[in-house]
Chains A and B, each alone.
Chain A
Amino acid sequence: QQQVKQSPQSLIVQKGGISIINCAYENTAFDYFPWYQQFPGKGPALLIAIRPDVSEKKEGRFTISFNKSAKQFSLHIMDSQPGDSATYFCAASRENSNSGYALNFGKGTSLLVTP
């Protein structure tokens, strides 16, 4: 079963707007939550990541908000640009060697930023 649920499936935002993608998880043992960005024909690349001991992490125009009690986390892209148009994946993992640190991914959100 899908361990990480992501929404929306697709998103259209005007240039300069805010893009918001949401994820929810069930397994309370997850303790590492990265977001990956993928352009067509390329492999996913790490965008930003957070641990559950903080509620927010910001890197440039990208912010992760984390709500441990609700088991939800979200990606906010401020001042969205056409170059941000890509597929975004949230993920979660258990940081212990028994699980091999493998990432459990959401199904992805296709973001289109219009000029």
Chain B
Amino acid sequence: DAGITQSPRHKVTETGTPVTLRCHQTENHRYMYWYRQDPGHGLRLIHYSYGVKDTDKGEVSDGYSVSRSKTEDFLLTLESATSSQTSVYFCATRTGFSGNTIYFGEGSWLTVV
């Protein structure tokens, strides 16, 4: 347990609406990540952050944006939600040291109808 809290844990939203998922960590880890998990695809990286205001795109970043204004918080925003973004979203963190464990949160279940 790396003190990761995701909110909301469950959300149903309508197509075209903006959605923001929040990840809060208490371990002062430098790196934070957002993954999505879909059946048959495993876990795919959306965006990651390597410090406050420092972010970069992952494998499936289209339609998503992120922000990190404080070390402890990493926000994922769906600007205009689509049904293809129905998924389970996981936040993860790790320290800046090589080989250290990446810890995952409990997930946020998002359904776009």
List chain A positions with a Cβ less than 8 A from chain B.
6, 32, 34, 36, 41-46, 49, 51, 89, 95, 97, 100-108
Contact = CB atoms under 8 A, between A and B. Distances in A.
| Chain A at the B interface: SS class | loop
B42 A100 contact: no
Contacts of A36: 104
| Chain B at the A interface: SS class | strand
A101 B42 contact: no
A105 B99 contact: no
A107 B96 contact: no
A105 B50 contact: no
B58 interface: yes
A102 B45 contact: yes
Interface string B34-62: 01000011111100111000001010000
B42 A46 contact: no
